[in-house]
Amino acid sequence: MVSFDTIRSTGDAEVDVGIRIYALAARLFPICRSITGDGVRETLQILGQQIDLTQYEVPTGTPVLDWTVPQEWNIRDAYIKNPSGEKVLDLAENNLHVLGYSIPVQKTMPLGELKSHIHTLPEQPSLIPYRTSYYNEQWGFCMAHDDFAQLEDGNYEVYIDSEKRDGHLSYGEYVHKGHTDRDVLLSAHICHPSLANDNCSGLALLACLAKALRTRKTRYNYRFLFAPGTIGALTWLAGNEHKVSSIDHGLIVSCVGDGGGPNYKRSRRGNSVIDQVMEYVLSVDERHGTISEFSPYGYDERQYCSPGFNLPVGLFQRSAFGTFPEYHTSADNLDFISPEHLASSYRMIMEAIDILEMNWTPLNLFPKGEPQLGRRGLYSALGGDKSAGETAMGYLWVLNLADGNHTLLDITRRSGMSFRDIARAAQLLLANGLLADISEQPPQAGETSISGHT
């Protein structure tokens, strides 16, 4: 396991960021988490070492829209002993061994009775499944089907030392302040125990991304939310409904550490700016990712995109949830994710941020015919730059589509050119008095690029 505190630079920025994200994910992986409890708090404490995270505690019984904050759950120990007194299952060996939110149990019972409380994957017999029972009073275990098949008849001692009591739901939030009052929401769920891709990868990536943004001047506020799935998003929405109208763009980030995809699921709106941005980012990535339409099933995008909010929030992943054999099993471990793929996911999200920051709506101030660029020094200013041809075409595309109805991203998509070339051309035209910006505020030179990859 890589130690986050002893990492040394390789000299390659993208390699370094991948190593750092992986190291943080590795720190989070062993923690036994659920939708509430001390595991969530420990996770937030570790994330808080990277960024100035504000932790919120919402009491059990608090109404959150149509839901109620549940009792807090914590677990200390769990095992099954066979008739010889040997442990055939031990929570200390894997957090997935116990059904999430199990009520406590301590009894001896015959194997026939115990079997109804053991969950396995017969089609993946060497793997432990991840199962939960948040809102039903049950107890249970999860184990590899191969091990389950080896259990001999007799009486088994079963023990789950857990507790459900009135307590709190915990979540963390960090806000990077920009120079407008508009927000970008970036969210990852914090409730899964020891699932490296479906949990740890998203938490670690967003924490490292938030840390990288701290020294940058941005137009938008970037709101990072680390909350348990479903109930955490609902709790945040219920307590922050007055802030919802400021969210212009949003991404749910999960399963970003494996070698699949990339995949992007559109927001409910279907053609919001974040949908267009992610479609462009994936189209220019060397792997040419997959874009899927919105559906009301998935992660917390379905809460933010519920009709009463209808926020422009999409879902970014590598392999899409539920489509890879490691999903919600013990095979989703630290060997399944890699620094390389984490770095690639980080780069794509940073590219999306760059575009959001640099995108604006130009208006051609000389719309009748083409303005004379040469006498304004726009051609000669390029000198022997090998990108002169691309920039010249960028001038023409921007001037032609700068009718007040097209953003730079719109012009990029229509022209087939890169966003970088279109943005560069527009900035030069703006500086030479040929364009006006009719969006809220144009980006300032030297303050636009976050990652340098766009």
Peptide bond between residue 125 and the one before it cis (omega within 30 degrees of 0): no
> Using an 8 Å Cβ cutoff, are 415 and 393 in contact?
yes
Kindly write down the DSSP assignment for every residue of 370-404, as one continuous string.
Answer: ---SGGGTTTGGGTT-TTHHHHHHHHHHHHHH-BS
> Using an 8 Å Cβ cutoff, are 241 and 59 in contact?
no
Residue ranges for the known binding site are: 192, 198, 328
- Judged on CB neighbours under 10 Å (0-12, 13-18, 19+), 194 is buried
Give the span between the Cα atoms of 314 and 304, in whole angstroms: 9
> What is the distance of C-alpha 156 from the center of its chain?
42
Nearest to 186 by CA among 324, 295, 346: 346
Work out the angle at residue 445's Cα, subtended by the Cα atoms of residues 439 and 448, and round it to the nearest 5 degrees.
70
Q: Which residue, chain included where needed, has tokens 């701290």?
A: 214
Task: Please state whether beta strands 183-189 and 168-176 pair in parallel, antiparallel, or not at all (unpaired).
Answer: unpaired
Residues in Cβ contact with 348 at an 8 Å cutoff, skipping those fewer than 6 apart? 262, 281, 282, 285, 316
Residues in the chain: 454
Nearest to 33 by CA among 255, 190, 161: 190
> Using an 8 Å Cβ cutoff, are 331 and 220 in contact?
no
> Using an 8 Å Cβ cutoff, are 193 and 96 in contact?
yes
Residue ranges for the known binding site for Zn(2+) are: 192, 198, 328
* 3 state SS of 439: coil
Tokens of 318: 């590598």
Count the helix, strand and coil residues of the chain and give each as a percent rounded to the nearest 5.
35, 20, 45
**DSSP letter (8 states) at residue 53:** P
Give the span between the Cα atoms of 153 and 165, in whole angstroms: 35
